[in-house]
Structure 1
Amino acid sequence: MTTTAGGASRTNDPVPAADALARYALPASHPVEEAARRAVLRAAEHLLARQHAEGYWKGVTQSDVAYEAQDLLLRRFLGIRDERVTAATGRWIRSRQRADGTWSLVHDGPGHLGTTIQAYVALRLAGDRPDQAHMLRCAAWVRSSGGVAAGELTARIWLALFGWWSWDDLPEVPPEIIALPARAPLSIHSFNSWIRLVLVPLAVVSAHRPVRPAPFGIEELFAPGGPPAGPAAAGPHGGWEGAFRRLDRVLRACRGATPGPVRRAALTACVRWILERQEADGSWGGFGPMTGYAVLALHAQGFPLDHPVLRAALGALEDSAVWTGDGMRMTETVQSPVWDTALSVTALADAGVPAGHPALLGAADWLLTRQTTRPGDWAVRRPRLAPGGWSFEFHNQTYPDNDDTSEVILALRRVAPRDEARVDDAVERAARWTGGMQSRDGGWGAFDADSTGTLVNRLPFFDIGDYCADPPTADVTAHVVEMLAALGRRDDPRTRRGVRWLLDHQEDSGAWFGRWGMNHLYGTGCAVPALVAAGVPHDAPAVRRAVAWLASVQNADGGWGEDWRSYDDPAFAGRGPSTPSQTAWALLALLAAGERDGSAVRAGVAWLTGAQTEDGSWEEPQFTGTGVPGVQALNYGLYRHVFPLTALGRYTRRQNTGAVSARSAPN
């Protein structure tokens, strides 16, 4: 990709929003409503202009700079370092450094040790000297924070590739894990989908323990006293954590005793597993970091760089690069065209764009080409379920998810397509697939069904807390429930069980936890519209408690925001500077709850209209998307556009919930 950070637009001129939007039946009743109508017009114009010629929308996804650093480390490891790429990536990393010398996971967040270590090494690769002021500040902060030894596991894995950290001081990941039965508590299928894409390649890499000559030393990043004996020797002695620490020591001791034929067979099985999951664009799951691990594994196993598999993979990594207009280069950890397109269609429909508008028809046609047609890893737990879901990315047949599938169905039901039978067939297949992915407790996870094991969170392979599995979450469950309601299936047993799951998982405050968006504002903004769409009345206690919580955390300026730290500290729940996307999420919940004419909604709408820029969009440097709570935050480039337009559209159109259909549901 060679776009700017703002994204590309379609090559053919869209129908002007002034001509595309349906007229309002009633005059505006208040100056705030009049301003909101003008904002909707400008926002719709802006979004229509951003559609790509092929019919999709896609914003640029930003995350912390660890992934740019890993890109440079991978290139150095493979011997394909490019001076232009290195210099441009270095400029990007340098531009994101905080005044104290650190790098954060989020905009205006505190320094993060693992990301800072990787960024420092990347800048050394880019030519920065350790005696430069910004590097001295960084190294001093790293040492004061415990040094490399205290950094996150991912950073130490990348350092081990160059001998800056010892493989002996990393957890043992035996490739023989590939042979465990799928239903075994610690099989690879006990982990969530994206962890599997790291775990299996990492097992191959750790079996080979490759090391390239280090281009320089990084002694300045080690705290006084040097590294400890190793993470396996640390940690609690009792409970599951202690048991797994002892297991790691056993695996380490058995490493040299594993019969050669057994180890070779395990490595062959791991490589076969990796190769079977490469996507059409050369990536693994459409994820840049996971593709990097797969490249490392295959190269360690002996695949030359000119092998077709690695050529395709390196091409996919290059396609994830975004060159900014000022000579910097960033990498997208993941691209989001399916998600962005579904949300854009819904936003434009909520704004009053007719169901037969060319932009919506083009989007529907494009979405239909992205429906998955073959079983993926999800079929291990649902072997008799026919495929039919959608994934997040351009190419990802292996890992469709319930969230994207639900949002695509909701979007397709807002369009009057050229081929109605084709859309109805696609929607029905997708609805059956999503229904079949319901977990036993009534909720839905993102990628797998019944991925609720907790033992995997205790293994020393990863240090991401309780997110190694894929249990049901409120945001995903809410989107599925809303989708089923839009298809006229309120009374379906699956819908009723999903509603019960949501009601049972409302927090004492009245909010819902947000797994894939930040955080309780997202979870609540998903849950309330879904419950109302499924028939829960406005005066139900759950809805009233949610309304009361949203009112209690509204900022004095009228907007809403939630700090990233809410994932670790409940004091930040619903608290933070106002942002467009988070304000929109709060408004979506309040509108669904029947609060359109209340003071909280009016103040929130006024904040959104006042924050709109001249070009009809909104500015949002904050990261409001979530990859892993507390570990990886994301800034999705279209969130600042689609969610405010959706909220303002529903406000001006007096529409309580988005779970509506332009056409009758299929039989």
Structure 2
Amino acid sequence: MSRANHETQGDRERTLQRATTWLLDEQNEAGWWWGHMYTNVTLDAEDLWLRELYGTRTPELTEAVAHWIRDEQRDDGTWATFPGGPGELSTTIEAYLTLRLAGDSPDAPHMAKAAAFCRDSGGVEQSRMATRIWLAVFGLWPWEDLPVLPPEIMLVPPRATLAVPSFSGWSRIALIPLAIARARRPVHPLPFDVAELCGGVPRPAPDHPTFSVENAFVRVNDLLAHYERRPLKRIRALSQRRAENWIVDHQEVDGTWLGVHLLSVFCLLGLWAAGYPQHHPVVRKAFDGLRRFEVWDDGDDGPRRRMECVTGPVWDTSLAVIALTDAGVDPGHPALRTAASWLLGEEVSNRGDWTLRRPGLAASGWSFSFDNDIFPDCDDTSTVVAALRRVAGASPADRAALDGACGRGSGWLVGMQSRNGGWASYDADNNSAIVGKLPFCDFGEATDPPSADVTAHVLEALAGELPAGHPTLRRGAEWLLREQEHDGAWFGRWGANYVYGTSAAIVALTAIGVPADARAVARGLEWLCQHQNDDGGWGEDLRSYHDERWRGRGVSTPSQTAWVLMACHAAGYPVEDERVRRGIDWLVGNQRPDGTWAEDVYTGTGFPGDFYMGYPMYRQIFPTMALGRYLAGAGRSSTVMAT
């Protein structure tokens, strides 16, 4: 090895050493890793509004929230759904209303700029459904102008097209409490209005083809509006009771719903509309649960508070275990055993909503958050199974516990495969093309169909659990191959975007035995390599979800660069390959002295086109994985990461 090559290899090993040391130091003594996620200010706004309704809003909290929201405003007066993204109307309206509640004058320059943007973008008339529901709650929008979603939906037979099980897990949790609020039409007036946000042009009447599903729903909505004026009292009372009971029954151990902040706020809004007081046990428990989402820091003008959208210690921990073992940490290292022990304790033993489609399947799986037992998901379960397989038990009993959990988890994953061969997040066969066309559903996805990235992660995990050629693997691979797009890429449902989906698909297909020179894999690799940036890294802007011009394009990021490098490694690209070398050099050159990488953009997706998330652990975990896999193949000293 030449002196230059020796120095290059040394730089890479030191980069990996620093990254691994940082990860080990960040582990909680209980065994988990958890990075506080970022999203947009609508969470902060709606959380404060909820406390206004329940009478728990304080001046100190209001100012801390307002401080955060002011700091997030951009120079053009707007707020966006992700850093660097365009101003977004509903987000800006909600931020503005919150600052009005905090006492900011509409004549203040920062407020006037925001209001001008809202008016120029069509005003509150063009805002999304959830925003207008909140405006109706505060007497700033007429309830009658909102689409109808009657609580009588609770009485629809479970197997009917528009029954509650036809909606995704997250949609159920949102729509049921909002149906209660829409039916009761409560008003909590504020001492001001927001006329300055109105665009002056009514929402245009829907103009769908005469024989379309959308047009049929518009006509049904007109009929339901007539029913809403004089509903059948006994039927309405029964349906509202069932809706309230459903909400209460689906409250998690930690007081939240699905471990998601926004869904928990919606449920509390529905319970408030139903008359539940602040001191009710369910409400009190929920507010206790909301505390876990709080993130406080010190701003220039005092304390600031923001809200996480969701806590993800199971996801972060399982990925961290995989990263550390990729980096060469001994499988019996105390940090890994502690993490495995914590993960074992997080296995779900309850029979949750997934049994609506899979009633005979034995309970197992893992959820995203700390104490959520109703909604395990396939993505977390696959990463936990893969992580646990990497850990060495301290005793035969420990190994048996790990094997048992992996067996139950993989069995649950096999049972959650949809009929078309793919895997979704929370449900199986939840892919109705009709429910998402309801007028009430204008934000996010109303169903939970299989996605390429979740399917890829499950296949990658099951490749180590099932024999080669197993029908489950074959059907999953066939579905994944059908989903490849015209240019060789795969769509990324839960990560940004085609870079995420394509990298995951390549890793999975090669894991189950598809050769790297197979046409689908080769096309995917070619697409990735074509989108390498001039600086050697990879990145993709979140605008690619609705603008083809951003497809595979964006500023280089540590996580996205690592995703591509892992795909190249899975396909057998050597470290000497020019594209691989440049990608590794980008990671080495952009590491900070403390062993971390900076990632100021979001690379996580909640709802494509609508809601995005920044995962602080991604910038650390995935580069550690990629460097570990490549350095292991390049003759790295086996003692570098052994302790």
**Does residue 236 of structure 1 match 2:212?**
no
2:621 and 2:293 map into 1 onto residues whose CA distance is: 23
1:148 and 1:197 map into 2 onto residues whose CA distance is: 25
**Does residue 494 of structure 1 match 2:472?**
yes
> Match of 2:35, as an amino acid?
G
Equivalence map 1:459-538=2 (5 Å) = 459-464=438-443, 467-538=445-516
> Match of 2:190, as an amino acid?
A
1:28 and 1:84 map into 2 onto residues whose CA distance is: 58
> Match of 2:262, as an amino acid?
P
- 2:407 alignment counterpart: 428
1:631 to 589, 610, 619: 610
Q: Over residues 178-209 of structure 1, what are the superposed CA-to-partner deviations in whole Å (9 max), with x where a residue is unaligned? A: 11122211111111110110011111111111
1:109 to 85, 93, 111: 85
**Does residue 352 of structure 1 match 2:352?**
no
Q: Over residues 361-403 of structure 1, what are the superposed CA-to-partner deviations in whole Å (9 max), with x where a residue is unaligned? A: 0100000111100111110000000110000001111111000
Q: Over residues 544-577 of structure 1, what are the superposed CA-to-partner deviations in whole Å (9 max), with x where a residue is unaligned? A: 1111111111000000110111111222111011
1:482 and 1:325 map into 2 onto residues whose CA distance is: 42
SS in 2 for 1:98: coil
In structure 1, stretches of 5+ residues that fail to align are: 1-25, 657-667
- 1:17 alignment counterpart: none
Whether the aligned pair in 1 keeps the contact of 2:129 and 2:443 (CA below 8 Å) is: no
Q: Over residues 121-175 of structure 1, what are the superposed CA-to-partner deviations in whole Å (9 max), with x where a residue is unaligned? A: 0111122111110100000010000000011111111111101111111111100
Q: Normalising by structure 2, what TM-score?
A: 0.95
**Farther off after superposition, 377-386 or 489-498:** 489-498
- 1:38 alignment counterpart: 14
Equivalence map 1:410-449=2 (5 Å) = 410-418=386-394, 419-449=398-428
1:237 and 1:431 map into 2 onto residues whose CA distance is: 45
2:393 and 2:98 map into 1 onto residues whose CA distance is: 49
**Does residue 325 of structure 1 match 2:325?**
no
1:77 and 1:632 map into 2 onto residues whose CA distance is: 25
> Match of 1:533, as an amino acid?
A
1:371 and 1:405 map into 2 onto residues whose CA distance is: 9
CA RMSD of aligned residues (A): 1.7
Equivalence map 1:535-574=2 (5 Å) = 535-574=513-552
Alignment length, in residue pairs? Answer: 627
Q: Over residues 236-279 of structure 1, what are the superposed CA-to-partner deviations in whole Å (9 max), with x where a residue is unaligned? A: 25211111111111101111232111100000011111111111
1:507 and 1:97 map into 2 onto residues whose CA distance is: 37
> Match of 1:624, as an amino acid?
T
- 2:266 alignment counterpart: 293
> Match of 1:491, as an amino acid?
G
Quick one: structure 1 residues 116 and 235, their matched pair in 2 at CA, closer, same or farther if it must change by over 3 Å?
farther
- 1:609 alignment counterpart: 588
Whether the aligned pair in 2 keeps the contact of 1:617 and 1:640 (CA below 8 Å) is: yes
**Farther off after superposition, 296-305 or 556-565:** 296-305
- 1:306 alignment counterpart: 279
**Does residue 155 of structure 1 match 2:131?**
yes
- 1:367 alignment counterpart: 343
TM-aligned CA deviation for residue 304 of structure 1: 1.6
Q: Over residues 601-622 of structure 1, what are the superposed CA-to-partner deviations in whole Å (9 max), with x where a residue is unaligned? A: 1101111111111110111110
1:655 and 1:574 map into 2 onto residues whose CA distance is: 28
Whether the aligned pair in 2 keeps the contact of 1:235 and 1:241 (CA below 8 Å) is: no
SS in 2 for 1:429: helix
Whether the aligned pair in 1 keeps the contact of 2:34 and 2:313 (CA below 8 Å) is: yes
- 2:639 alignment counterpart: none
Q: Over residues 464-483 of structure 1, what are the superposed CA-to-partner deviations in whole Å (9 max), with x where a residue is unaligned? A: 36x21111111000011111
Whether the aligned pair in 2 keeps the contact of 1:484 and 1:490 (CA below 8 Å) is: no
Whether the aligned pair in 1 keeps the contact of 2:123 and 2:197 (CA below 8 Å) is: yes
1:152 and 1:489 map into 2 onto residues whose CA distance is: 48
> Match of 1:160, as an amino acid?
A
- 1:58 alignment counterpart: 34
- 2:236 alignment counterpart: 263
1:179 and 1:495 map into 2 onto residues whose CA distance is: 38
Quick one: structure 1 residues 208 and 644, their matched pair in 2 at CA, closer, same or farther if it must change by over 3 Å?
same
2:47 to 71, 77, 83: 71
2:3 and 2:375 map into 1 onto residues whose CA distance is: 47
> Match of 2:590, as an amino acid?
A
TM-aligned CA deviation for residue 29 of structure 1: 5.2
> Match of 2:359, as an amino acid?
P
**Does residue 583 of structure 1 match 2:561?**
yes
**Does residue 91 of structure 1 match 2:64?**
no
TM-aligned CA deviation for residue 490 of structure 1: 2.6
Whether the aligned pair in 2 keeps the contact of 1:237 and 1:243 (CA below 8 Å) is: no
Q: Over residues 24-73 of structure 1, what are the superposed CA-to-partner deviations in whole Å (9 max), with x where a residue is unaligned? A: xx999564433221111000011111111110000011101111011111
- 2:572 alignment counterpart: 594
1:641 and 1:106 map into 2 onto residues whose CA distance is: 20
Quick one: structure 1 residues 237 and 488, their matched pair in 2 at CA, closer, same or farther if it must change by over 3 Å?
closer
- 1:652 alignment counterpart: 631
1:182 and 1:33 map into 2 onto residues whose CA distance is: 60
> Match of 2:534, as an amino acid?
A
Quick one: structure 1 residues 655 and 372, their matched pair in 2 at CA, closer, same or farther if it must change by over 3 Å?
farther
**Does residue 640 of structure 1 match 2:619?**
yes
1:132 to 104, 108, 112: 108
Whether the aligned pair in 2 keeps the contact of 1:364 and 1:417 (CA below 8 Å) is: no
- 2:431 alignment counterpart: 452
Q: Over residues 277-307 of structure 1, what are the superposed CA-to-partner deviations in whole Å (9 max), with x where a residue is unaligned? A: 1111111110111111111111221222111
- 1:660 alignment counterpart: none
Q: Normalising by structure 1, what TM-score?
A: 0.92
Q: Over residues 205-234 of structure 1, what are the superposed CA-to-partner deviations in whole Å (9 max), with x where a residue is unaligned? A: 111111011121111000135x45xx7x43
1:538 and 1:125 map into 2 onto residues whose CA distance is: 58
Quick one: structure 1 residues 488 and 259, their matched pair in 2 at CA, closer, same or farther if it must change by over 3 Å?
closer
1:128 and 1:76 map into 2 onto residues whose CA distance is: 16
> Match of 2:206, as an amino acid?
A
**Farther off after superposition, 312-321 or 434-443:** 312-321
In structure 2, stretches of 5+ residues that fail to align are: 636-643
2:191 and 2:99 map into 1 onto residues whose CA distance is: 12
2:468 and 2:240 map into 1 onto residues whose CA distance is: 49
Using the aligned pairs only, state the percent identity.
48
1:464 and 1:36 map into 2 onto residues whose CA distance is: 44
TM-aligned CA deviation for residue 436 of structure 1: 0.2
**Does residue 174 of structure 1 match 2:150?**
yes
